[in-house]
Structure 1
Amino acid sequence: MTTIDLDKVLDKAWTDKSLPEILAAPVAALKGVSDRDGELLDEAFGVKTVADLADLKYVRWAQALAALDTTAE
């Protein structure tokens, strides 16, 4: 099972929310992602929520390629 420190990946307002609420949240709920970043992701890829971003095929492709990198530590 993978664990994640929500304080490190979410804006403070979202750290006490349930997983379904976080997945339905705008991408700006992620630490370091601004409202403008969220607008641009929506314009470019139709990404509105954290779940949309996680399901974006380009993100999945990049993660798969990174997983193949045997030089990464």
Structure 2
Amino acid sequence: MATINLGKVVDKAWVGKGLTEVLAAPVSALKGVSDRDGELLQEAFGIETVAALAELEYVRWAR
């Protein structure tokens, strides 16, 4: 399994937070994902957290 530097994948407000906090965070905590993007993910797939995005079957297929 690859190691992820969370500081490189989350917005500044989330740098230094633990993995548990980041997984529970809204998807907009990820770099490049706006609040509006988060709303659209919620509308389309019911995604509200980073963890839910990671478990989305389409993300797993792409990975």
Query: What is the TM-score with the length of structure 1 in the denominator?
Result: 0.80
Alpha-carbon distance in structure 1 between the residues aligned to 2:26 and 2:14: 10
TM-score normalised over the length of structure 2: 0.92
In 2: Cα distance, 1:62 partner to 1:16 partner: 28
- Gaps in structure 2 of 5+ consecutive residues: none
- Structure 1 residue 46: Cα displacement: 0.3
Identity %: 73
1:48 and 1:6 map into 2 onto residues whose CA distance is 19
> Which residue of 2 is the match for residue 58 of structure 1?
58
Tell me what 1:32 maps to: 32
Divergent runs of 4+, >2 A: none
| Number of residue pairs matched by the alignment | 63
Give 1:7 shift.
2.3
Name the CA distance, whole Å, in 1 between partners of 2:61 and 2:15: 28
